[in-house]
Structure 1
Amino acid sequence: MITIVVAMGKNREIGADNQLLWHLPKDLKHFKELTSGHPIIMGRKTYESIGKPLPNRTNIVISRKNDWFEEGILIVGSIKEALKFAKKIDENVFIIGGGNIYEQTIDLADKLEVTLVDAELRADTFFPIIDEKKWLKTDEIAHLKDEKNQFDFSFQTFEKILEK
């Protein structure tokens, strides 16, 4: 099972200047619960924005640069290579960004775990359009903003509609 995990705003915005657009502790906790114990695949820029390997996960970073090394991560040259390594580790694989990686993997994914943030912010990176002919929303849990979470948001699960 390949699952894409993303937090995006109303206009599919996911980042600006290689940074997230919001700080939502409930979303970070949800992300950790979903991905802990499983391989996660990300692009180099996403890894650099995080700044360190995420604990209790196999961190696989896709990079065309082959002249760098980071302790605690596996660096590969392609999505195909990343998926090959990840599936040897666990049948549940999580794609965590960024925009280019999402674009390349959305058709390969079985499930989307989307945090939809009730905000419209300036961004330079966006999530691909979720085609309602290919994806069915199977779950949604709404959360209101509070003293720690600056925006209303909802956790949404989409499952790929199998072609007949």
Structure 2
Amino acid sequence: MISLELIVALADNFVIGINKEIPWHLSEDLKHFKAVTLNSNIVMGRRTFESIGRPLPKRRNIVISRDLSLRDKGVEVVSSLDEACRLVEKAPKEGFPCDRLIVIGGERLYKEALPKAKVLHLTRIHRSFDGDTYFPDWQNLPFKKSSSEDHFSDECGFAYTFETWTLGSV
């Protein structure tokens, strides 16, 4: 069975984006994202892929879209989250685990994946931002915090926390 994980940076008001961009630039979070997702299967929606602009290196990039021409851009295209899970399990790629898939965005995919997720990798930005894209409220789901690291960014002038939440156990 595949372990579905979500990774996201979100503000206190659940904002994750505005105008197809992240409303903050936190280099420490980019390093954290890389450490969690490197050599892993990642899945994203088409808009997230377009905002990134290219496949992320050293990751198996899967995009959920009806636009099959995206395959020409070096990603695997599937039509649903369930199809992405089946692809990882039944058509593994050398060097990538066949039992782990990490959702990296966007809003609609997070909403669909959250009830099926086993692990949440959160960067909690301790500030509110204006935005038009939000992460769904997970706080009433049976996740338990398994790790937490508090930090402060001199570069950005705000505090943030790296948290890992695991379904049902600590």
Q: Same fold (TM over 0.5)?
A: yes
Residue 145 in structure 1 maps to residue 153 in structure 2: yes
Aligned equivalent of 2:17: 15
**Per-residue deviation, 1:71:** 2.5
The separation in 1 between residues aligned to 2:71 and 2:145, in whole angstroms, is 39
SS in 1 for 2:72: coil
Query: Are 1:14 and 1:126, in contact at CA under 8 Å, matched by a contact in 2?
Result: yes
Q: Deviations over 1:122-164 (max 9, x none)?
A: 11110110134411112110111113x44311001111117xx
Quick one: which amino acid aligns to residue 60 of structure 1?
Answer: I
Query: What residue number does 2:161 align with?
Result: 154
- Give the structure 2 partner of residue 136 of structure 1: 144
Distance 1:151-1:86 versus aligned 2 partners, 3 A rule: farther
> Equivalent residue of 2:28, what SS?
helix
1:8-157 superposed matches below 5 A: 8-88=10-90, 89=92, 90=97, 91-147=99-155, 149-157=156-164
CA–CA distance in 1 between the matches of 2:162 and 2:72?
32
Give the alignment's TM-score, normalised by structure 2.
Answer: 0.89
Aligned CA distance change for structure 1 residues 120 and 83 (closer, same or farther; 3 Å): same
Q: Give CA deviations for 1:94-143 in whole Å, capped at 9, x if unaligned.
A: 11000000000001110000000012111111011013441111211011
Distance 1:133 1:15 in 2: 23
Structure 1 length-normalised TM: 0.92
Look up the equivalent residue of 2:50 and give its one-letter code.
E
Aligned-pair RMSD on alpha carbons?
1.5
* Structure 1 stretches lacking a partner, 5+ long: none
Tell me how far apart the structure 1 counterparts of residues 8 and 159 of structure 2 sit (CA, whole Å).
Answer: 16
Q: Distance in 2 between matches of 1:150 and 1:62?
A: 35
Shift of 1:68: 4.3
AA paired with 1:47? F
Task: Tell me how far 1:48 sits from its aligned partner.
Answer: 0.4
Q: Distance in 1 between matches of 2:7 and 2:49?
A: 15
Which residue identity does 1:155 align to in structure 2? F
